[in-house]
Amino acid sequence: MLDFLKTLFNPPPPPSSTTAKERLRLVLLSDHLSLSPETLAALKADLLAVISRYVEIDSSHADVTFEHRENDVAVLASIPITGVRERTQPPAQATLPLEMSAIDTETHAVQIDAGSESVDTQAMNDTNASENGATSTPVTGVVSAATRRRRRKKAQNLANRSNANAQQLGKPAQA
């Protein structure tokens, strides 16, 4: 009887394999994020390119980091806005500067939960961040090591190609 009441008020915890799966997801997420500085650089460049389509930004003071929280990992972007673009309609097609067009969106090793993207209120209370308007987006997915290896190769090819293009146009190649 007591057992019955116990189960009535405390539903059984989820099977431990579910807990294991969730812990594994988070642990790998943070492993992969801390493992790939190139990915972080590519993500930052893409992010700045997209945001600068809408507002003028000071990209030299932009900061993109990952924050490990209790139940997820989030991308935190702090990007100073210097002005507003004179345009009401968003551009139909992305026009990236030449250096950036080489960055393949597929090389990103993170998947984000776009639905729950929000302005991070905690960051907004922070004096510095509130001026910059920090955004926090939970990171929900992680790409397997095998997939990352393939993408690394692809990114390398793209980078080589873009360097060749830049040289053809008389521009200095990207580092």
Partner 1 sequence: MEARVEREPARASAPPRGRAIVITSGKGGVGKTTTTANVGAALAALGHKVVLVDADVGLRNLDVVLGLESRVKFHLLDVLEEKATLDEALVRDKRSENLSLLAAAQTREKEDVVTAQMVALMERLRERFEYVLIDCPAGIEMGFKNAIAGADHAIVVCTPEVSAVRDADRVVGLLPNDWRPQLIINRLRPLLVKKGKMLSVDDVNGILRLPLLGVIADEPGVIVATNRGEPLALDAASETGAAYRAIAAKLAGADIAAPSVRVPGTGFFSKLGSLFGGRA
Q: What separation, in Å, do the N-terminal and C-terminal C-alpha atoms of the chain show?
A: 71
x/- contact string, 30-59, with partner 1 (CB under 8 A)?
-x---x------------------------
18 near partner 1, rule: CB under 8 A: yes
Assess contact for 38 and 8: CB atoms under 8 A. Answer: no
Give 48 or 159: the residue with its C-beta nearer to partner 1.
Answer: 159
Q: How many residues bind partner 1 (CB under 8 A)?
A: 21
Enumerate residues 136-155 that contact partner 1 by CB under 8 A.
Answer: 144-149, 152-153
| Cα–Cα dist 39/75, whole Å | 13
Inter-CA distances, 39 with 15, 32, 45, Å:
35, 10, 10
24 near partner 1, rule: CB under 8 A: yes
Residues forming the site for partner 1 (CB under 8 A): 15-18, 20-21, 23-25, 27-28, 31, 35, 144-149, 152-153
